[in-house]
Amino acid sequence: MTGLSGLRGVIIHPAPVRCGLVHLRPVRMSARPGYETCRPGQVIALASYAITARHERQAQRILALDRVFAARRRQTVFRVVTGIILALGFGPILGWRATLPVLAVYGVLQLVEFLGFQRAWHRISGQGRFGLEAGLTLLALNSVIFGLPSVCMVLHFGPWGVACAGYLLTGATVNCVQLTLGSRSAYWASTLPFFLYAALIPFEVRLVSPAVSAPVLAGLGVAAVILAASVTKQWLQWDAARLKEAAAVRAQQVERDVNERRLLKLAQQDALTGLGNRDVLHNALGAALNSRRPGALFIIDLDGFKDINDMRGHGIGDEVLREIAARIAGGCREIDTVTRLGGDEFALVLPGLEAAAV
């Protein structure tokens, strides 16, 4: 970083710099009339925050895509069986010379996703954008191959083919909706090929039957738009509900953790002085004994404290105890343990002290 002293404007790295999953691009911040001047410390803080936030978003996207692949791996057998059934249905019609290569490509994609990609994903996902693009490309290729029979249905079966293609695309799209909740990029990579196949149906019908009227073709186009809009709307609603439920669960977990820490603090802290209690003392003594290192244990008792309570009252006595506790704690090291046993008695555990020092 250059130009941080004596300048109103700041230049952050004239050349792009790679930091983890984030690329820092050249940023110039200059003081002009009407613009707020950023101090060097503020610029560094803003840059650090931007790097951290972008890194977290990238990690969240990778984690969401990883969950999508985990869900898809559980349905690999179903997708393979469905592909084989479609191939057996179209093989005699289109010819096995055209059907078998498509089936082979689809089988290789399923095999890569289930076996090879399952292991390689954890390596390439750490490459940031490259890992995301590789995963999304695999999802898109699967959808392209799986939706290809819809074109053959329309071209060879006529009106019945249009109905079959609609059922195939709708079912595949709904399945993608269920599997991609939580990952918007995975949703679009999986469903966009099906939406495009649905949009091509009017053109395929026109190609097969030139005499089809324009209202019929327009109705097929509107049906494709309605399919894409309704499915996307349903996905957004389900994803919002999932996020809301996850936020509620996280809020409950945070509240539970806060309560547990508060209860633990109450169980191990003296309410009057804020020092540790007998449980803390016992734990510190056990740790000191297990370490087998020299140390010291001090027991402090205040003389004449009862007279203060009797003459000045318990409120003044509590203030005296708090002041004494603060002074004792202030004179100890960070590794020392200061506790209040009760009344006017205090205990100190000082680990790592030689006999001569004591």
The string of pLDDT tens digits covering residues 38-62 is: 444 444 444 444 445 566 676 777 7
The torsion angles phi and psi of 192, rounded to 5 degrees, stand at -60, -40
Say if residue 184's pLDDT is above 60: yes
| Assigned token pair, 190 | 């999986």
Range from 5-9, 56-60, 174-178 carrying the lowest mean pLDDT: 5-9
* SS3 at position 348: strand
Cα-Cα-Cα-Cα dihedral of 246, 248, 251, 255, to 10°?
Answer: -130
pLDDT the model gives residue 350: 86
Measured distance CA(151)–CA(18) in Å, rounded: 45
Rounded to an integer, the average pLDDT of 78-85 is 82
Contact 58, 35 (CB under 8 A): no
